[in-house]
Amino acid sequence: MKNLLLFFCVCLVLFSCEEKTPSTPKDLAKEFLIPKPDSLLATGSSFRLTKKTQIVIQDEFLELRTVGIFLANKLQPATGFKLPISLYSEVESGNNIIYLSSDLNNDQLGVEGYELIIEENHIKLQGNSAAGIFRGVQTLLQLLPETIEKKSLQTGPWEIASGIIVDFPSYEYRGAMIDVSRHFFGVEKVKEYIDHLARYKMNYLHIHLTDDQGWRIEIKKWPNLTNHGGSTQVGGGKGGFFTQEDYKKIVKYAADRFITIVPEIDLPGHTNAALASYAELNCDGKAQKLYTGMEVGFSTLCTRNENTYEFVDDVIKELVEITPGPYIHIGGDESHSTKQEDYIYFVDRVQDIVKKYGKQMMGWDDITEGSLNSNSVAQHWAKTDNAKKAVGQNVKIVMSPASKAYLDMKYDSTTTLGLNWAGFIEVDSGYIWNPATLINGVKKENILGVECPLWTETVTNLDELEYLVFPRLLGYAEIGWTKQENRNWEDYKVRLGNQQARLEALGINYYPSKLVPWTKPTEKGVKLKD
């Protein structure tokens, strides 16, 4: 009996030692977070994630279960831990818990802000909404070793520096655009891009669905748009398109990551794919030939033909039915073949159609030639005068200046991929600008947010896409999220350099800019695949 008692005592001691293995103290102030948080207080210890950790959500906010599932699924491959998700009322102990709560009622944090309290025995992540908690989860993941991003089992320990982070975005709209028209990217590749955006707290994905080279979204009333107009791309090739079910999958995947899809149908220019699909959309009643080149400005809908507005109405109606977000982007750029008076007439009529279906019209800054209502949004890309016209019409602006924010611009003269008509955009020049001071007369209160577009004339696969997007995307994410007074290049480039291991753990094909102090040699760099 004595021997049995001794055995149990030894087992208890060993178990206690295993469970109470001290965590390695970590300094939260030395973590290299992107975007940079609004405020951070380090407390000099750490929380250790183990197989015993529980994810606990507040009973009254079951919508947090989606966030909890996301976190658990993200942690499992690398750690091997299959963490349970429980309600607070079901948990007996408060130790080794990641607690998610969305009833903070803190006006400062807004919809997407969060407060992250990390102690040795528990983590409390709270905010005003599930969206804010999700943004906080991205910070939590960045505080773990970069190997957490691996899809195979890795060795720990999985420690998170202790302290308090209070964080919220500077701009409401923080987006990126992907052009699937010049070269088509399917559902899975778009999902992967969404994951990239979510990781750095971006909240809008603008999808350029139509252009001269291809129509990429199924419109059931006009099936030839995709059957014929979606059959090719720049340089030839088979093209492709999204069925409406495909598009719904993208919308759902994005929504689960609190990202809103903004669909763009580019009108009245950039419409050769539509004009090739239906003869009646042409003023002369003759269908155009499919186009696989890279020129712009040569196509236009027949803006004084009522058939055109029946077509636009049908397209927008079907798109609205599968788009829960507030915006429908109508393009409006580079319509050089449209007479100015006809262009203005078109924009005004389309604005009414979008409004009729309960959405807000968004368009490139060219649309400011029309009479815009205050619910419309102008996306600045080229002319500063157009941005000023938007301000004069009390229209909000999304800042996407081509010379600063276009991801398809080359890094420098040696870059083989991309274009340079708007100039070269190295990593520093993509970061060192302030949306609120870039254009005289356009102030922060006039700006809805920022967006970095990627046009794909020269981009044929995901590897090439990543090379142009990374690492510049991280800078645009920070411009949108972090207060201007908390941003500076010297600090940012160090944090960016320390993201290297995470980018590589994710398998991202990034451009190893020589301006960035990467944490390991990059002489060989990350090369484009042959």
Report the alpha-carbon distance of residue 187 to residue 179 in Å, rounded.
13
Q: Which two tokens stand for residue 106?
A: 């803190």
Task: Examine the pLDDT at 89 and tell me if it is beyond 50.
Answer: yes
Task: Examine the pLDDT at 27 and tell me if it is beyond 70.
Answer: yes
Q: For residue 283, name the pLDDT band (cuts at 50, 70, 90).
A: very high
Through-space distance between the first and last CA atoms of the chain, rounded to whole angstroms: 72
DSSP label at residue 518: -
Note the pLDDT of residue 6. 36
Match 């763009």 to its residue by tokens. 264
Task: Examine the pLDDT at 239 and tell me if it is beyond 90.
Answer: yes
pLDDT tens, 387-439? Answer: 999 999 999 999 999 999 999 999 999 999 999 999 999 999 999 999 999 99
Determine the Cα angle at 391 with ends 385 and 397, to 5°.
90
Task: Examine the pLDDT at 482 and tell me if it is beyond 60.
Answer: yes
Element (H, E) at 329: strand 327-331
Determine the Cα angle at 109 with ends 433 and 391, to 5°.
45
Give the residue-averaged pLDDT of 154-181: 98
The neighbouring-strand residues paired with 54 are 97
Q: In Å, how far are 15, 96, 202, 448 from 170, measured between CA atoms?
A: 47, 33, 12, 10
3-state secondary structure (DSSP) of residue 353: helix
Give the residue-averaged pLDDT of 456-476: 97
Give the residue-averaged pLDDT of 246-260: 98
Give the residue-averaged pLDDT of 464-472: 98
Q: For residue 526, name the pLDDT band (cuts at 50, 70, 90).
A: very low
Element (H, E) at 39: strand 39-49
Residue 173 dihedral angles phi and psi, to the nearest 5°: -110, 120
Note the pLDDT of residue 233. 98
Give the residue-averaged pLDDT of 20-32: 85
Length of the chain: 530
Choice between 274 and 61, residue whose per-residue pLDDT is larger:
274
Task: Examine the pLDDT at 5 and tell me if it is beyond 70.
Answer: no
Task: Examine the pLDDT at 362 and tell me if it is beyond 90.
Answer: yes
Note the pLDDT of residue 25. 87
Q: For residue 104, name the pLDDT band (cuts at 50, 70, 90).
A: confident
Task: Examine the pLDDT at 19 and tell me if it is beyond 90.
Answer: no
Note the pLDDT of residue 22. 66
Nearest by Cα to 329 from 358, 375, 361: 361
Q: Are 444 and 458 in contact (CB under 8 A)?
A: no
Give the residue-averaged pLDDT of 93-111: 91
Residue 349 CA, distance from chain mean position: 30
pTM of the model as a whole? 0.95
Pick the range with the lowest mean pLDDT from 85-94, 179-188, 224-233.
85-94
Kindly state the percentage of the chain with pLDDT values over 70: 94
Give the residue-averaged pLDDT of 206-226: 98
The neighbour count for residue 154, using CB atoms within 10 Å, is 17
Pick the range with the lowest mean pLDDT from 20-24, 25-29, 132-136.
20-24
Task: Examine the pLDDT at 363 and tell me if it is beyond 80.
Answer: yes
3-state secondary structure 359-408: CEEEEEHHHHHCCCCCCCEEEECCCHHHHHHHHHCCCEEEECCHHHHCCC
Catalytic residue positions?
Answer: 334
Map out the domains of the chain with their CATH numbers: 20-167 (3.30.379.10), 173-505 (3.20.20.80)
The neighbouring-strand residues paired with 126 are 101, 115
Name the average pLDDT for the chain.
94
Give the residue-averaged pLDDT of 132-156: 97
| Phi/psi-derived region of residue 297, left when phi > 0, alpha when psi is between -120 and 50, beta in every other case | left
pLDDT tens, 431-452? Answer: 999 999 999 999 999 999 999 9
Task: Examine the pLDDT at 270 and tell me if it is beyond 70.
Answer: yes
Kindly state the percentage of the chain with pLDDT values over 90: 90
